[in-house]
Structure 1
Amino acid sequence: MSNITLGNLSYISREELAEQLKTSSSAPSLPSHLAIIDVRDSDHVGGHIRGSTWVPSSELDYKTPELVRTLKDKEVVVFHCALSQQRGPSAALRYIRERERLDQGRGGEKETGDGEEKEPGKEKGQKVLVLRGGFTQWQDKYGPDKGLTEAWQKDIWEFGY
């Protein structure tokens, strides 16, 4: 059983994530080391972070093993929902636990090699983060920026979430 909990997940601010997207030479796609997973459900309308992958939280039960396999070479995986209070952190935790389960099935080690355990969410060099404030805070600052946000609709967001 994993010792990782919601309480020890790591977060990234909207500013830090935007900076990674802005400095990417691969625009309009994401930098090759980064994946952004949007787990909003029907509230996905009104825009999304450029290059993000939409995996509704209602589909995570069967899509998480596939995500672990397809994202295995990414250095950073960022999860978010609307507010990143429930679905986003839960998805990140589910992803980390599934990755651990699959690694154990392959005989993978949780240790760094020097007898110390790795930080939660950083096994095999991959960092799993949650976007602080979710898409709601993201769009509040970066919604109109077409270089950072796709399909943003001002009329959906102008009166808040």
Structure 2
Amino acid sequence: MSTATVANLPRISGEKLANLIRTKTPGISIIDVRDSDYVGGHILGCQNVPTHTHDHRMPELVRTLRNQDTIVFHCALSQQRGPSSALRYLRERERMSARGELGIREDVEDIEKAQKVVVLEGGFAKWQEAYGSDTELTEGYVKDLWDESW
């Protein structure tokens, strides 16, 4: 069983993620778990998987992303929803793998080496401060919605 906890999940800086996006590094998926606060901008190419959909969407997400090298989760601040969603993803991936639902049977260490799951430091609030107006990195950005709101 995985030893991952919300407290020990690895983090990725906005700067490092921006560089990966700019260089079009393959094998990276960004999962934005914000609900209604998704309005006003998002990281280019991310998938919006709101937390209220996780009960039925998490197995689908694990199957869809099983061949990706790195999965980046985030919410507005990456303090609760983002890390909790990343942990939920890890546990679902482990459960599905143990049951052979991913077409592979690996032990936990092999799974963890094959796919890195990280949380974006500071979430979208911090991201938009640095990259909100950068159309190479952010889509649908509405600056007025973020001014003094976080």
Instruction: Specify which of 112, 118, 125 is matched with residue 136 of structure 1.
Output: 125
1: CA distance between counterparts of 2:74 and 2:38?
A: 11
Deviation at 1:124, TM superposition (A): 5.2
Structure 1 residue identity aligned to 2:88? R
RMSD of aligned Cα (Å) = 1.5
Larger Cα Rg: Structure 1 or Structure 2?
1
Aligned to 1:123: 112
Structure 1: which 5+ residue stretches go unaligned? Answer: 25-30, 112-116
Secondary structure of 1:4 counterpart: coil
- For normalisation by structure 2, the TM-score amounts to 0.92
Structure 2 residue identity aligned to 1:158? D
**Number of equivalent positions:** 147
Identity %: 54
2: CA distance between counterparts of 1:8 and 1:154?
A: 32
- For normalisation by structure 1, the TM-score amounts to 0.86
1: CA distance between counterparts of 2:32 and 2:135?
A: 18
Aligned to 2:18: 18
Secondary structure of 2:117 counterpart: strand
Aligned to 1:49: 43
Structure 1 residue identity aligned to 2:144? D
Aligned to 1:110: 107
> Residue by residue, what CA displacement relative to the aligned partner does 1:50-82 show, whole Å, maximum 9, x if unpaired?
000001011011100000000011000000000
Q: Where does structure 1 differ by over 4 angstroms across 4 or more consecutive aligned residues?
A: none
Structure 2 residue identity aligned to 1:148? L
